Amino acid sequence: MKTLEDALKGRVAIVTGGASGIGRATALLFAAQGAKVVVADIDGPGAEDTAGRIAAGGADAIAVQADVSSPADCERVVRTAVEGFGGLHALFNNAGIIRRSTALDLGVDEWDRVMAVNVRSVFLMCKYAIPAMTEGGAIVNTGSGWGLKGGGNAVSYCASKAAVVNMTRALAIDHAGAGIRVNSVNPGDTDTPMLRDEARQLREDWAAFAADAADRPMGRAGTPEEIAQAVLFLTADTSSYITGTALVVDGGGLA
């Protein structure tokens, strides 16, 4: 019987957006479960900070400053894992950005940037990572509740996350034969710097925002650690027959 104890022992994992929020919590959990972790983020010092926390806990990590919308950077992140740790077994495509705008007030460049960071990144990281997963592997992509339903005033973000959810299904079908599972984790509102920024922009008091009963039946936002546990489940062998699925972790928000 497989358990989640040391679930990633001996595995090499890449986490994008690992400098903050959900990515950082997942990088720390992966390391605690035995993985060697490449922490990639456009925020170099933030990635170093996460890698330093992992090293302080006695596990192995390498920080890479990288823009996941760049093909060369994505290729370098994968090369770092293979050359630094001898292989690749797990990939968490999690880096993402949000622009709160309707189609009327969103600039064309802003649309392109959201698509590049949220969608092209998943394609690019998979393009370079999958050939490196020579023993099979598991990929988790961060979608969103807003990839499964609409949301107001975030037209590019909603489009980008729906693309991530369906790209995940396509990747799962294409690479199942190579022993690679691909799933999306779809968080509801989660207490990270991204969401706190949003609350600030909407000029909402955080406590009132986090408790908004209409969106959050449980009366609170999720924590990055709660999302990380779902990512661990989808990455570890305990989910060995799950691929192409969209796992929602939102305290009942979508319900």
Residues near ligand NAD (CB under 6 A) are 16-17, 19-23, 41-43, 46, 66-69, 94-98, 117, 142, 144, 187, 189-190, 192-195
Per residue, the 3-state secondary structure of 102-153, as one string, reads CCCCCCHHHHHHHHHHHHHHHHHHHHHHHHHCECEEEEEEECCHHHCCCCCC
Task: Report, in Å, the least distance between residue 26 CB and ligand NAD.
Answer: 9
H-helix or E-strand containing 172? Answer: helix 155-175
Nearer to ligand NAD, 19 or 232 (CB): 19
* 241 counts as catalytic: no
Task: Report, in Å, the least distance between residue 32 CB and ligand NAD.
Answer: 18
Read off the tokens for 195: 């969401």
From the list 30, 92, 128, 157, the catalytic residue is 157
- Nearest Cα residue to 237 out of 167, 159, 179: 179
> Residue 166's CB: how many other CB atoms inside 10 A?
13
Is 114:156 a contact under the CB 8 Å cutoff? yes
Task: Report, in Å, the least distance between residue 53 CB and ligand NAD.
Answer: 14
Nearer to ligand NAD, 24 or 36 (CB): 24
Task: Report, in Å, the least distance between residue 14 CB and ligand NAD.
Answer: 12
Q: How far is CA 241 from CA 99, 126, 181, 236, in A?
A: 36, 20, 8, 11
Nearer to ligand NAD, 69 or 245 (CB): 69
3-class state of residue 248 by DSSP? strand
Task: Report, in Å, the least distance between residue 175 CB and ligand NAD.
Answer: 21
H-helix or E-strand containing 37? Answer: strand 36-41
- Nearest Cα residue to 192 out of 15, 14, 19, 13: 19
Nearer to ligand NAD, 72 or 176 (CB): 72
Nearer to ligand NAD, 136 or 219 (CB): 219
The residues assigned a catalytic role are 157
